């Protein structure tokens, strides 16, 4: 069964460093998303991406964040200068169409020290 994959599973970084989180969405899906979940809190939407551009983003997704689809399979989230409060689980998701089921990857646990 097709699934969303994410790498790395864990990332530890120093405050102020750049991190890139990688995702491979389900192959025939056209819509891609990033969510985050701070420990003990709800899952929060960050950004959605369609047709090689951002379609929606939340207030969390400020200038420190960027997304890219560098090739036909990968979808990345870059955090330019990490802060302590960026420590969270980051989930990538994909869907075949707008409003359809979003399938989540296993997540990347990011710890900023």
- List residues near other proteins by CB under 8 A: 31, 33, 35, 41-45, 48, 50, 55-56, 58, 89, 91, 98-107
Computed from CA positions of residues 43, 70, 26, 4, in that sequence, does the dihedral angle turn out positive or negative?
Answer: negative
User: Of 64 and 89, which CB lies nearer to other proteins in the complex structure?
Assistant: 89
User: Of 15 and 38, which CB lies nearer to other proteins in the complex structure?
Assistant: 38
* Distance of closest approach, residue 67 Cβ to other proteins, in angstroms: 14
* Distance of closest approach, residue 91 Cβ to other proteins, in angstroms: 5
Evaluate whether 38 touches 26 at the Cβ level (below 8 Å): no
Q: What do you get for the CA distance between the two ends of the chain, in Å?
A: 37
């Amino acid at each position: 069964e097709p699934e969303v994959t994410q790498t790395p599973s864990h990332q530890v970084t120093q405050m102020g460093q750049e991190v890139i989180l990688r995702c491979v969405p389900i192959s025939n899906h056209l819509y891609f998303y990033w969510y985050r979940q701070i420990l003990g809190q709800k899952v929060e939407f960050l950004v959605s991406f369609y047709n090689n551009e951002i379609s929606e983003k939340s207030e969390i997704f400020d200038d420190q964040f960027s997304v890219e689809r560098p090739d036909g399979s990968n979808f990345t989230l870059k955090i330019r200068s990490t802060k302590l409060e960026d420590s969270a689980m980051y989930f990538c998701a994909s869907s075949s169409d707008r409003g359809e089921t979003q399938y989540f990857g296993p997540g990347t646990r990011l710890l900023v020290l």
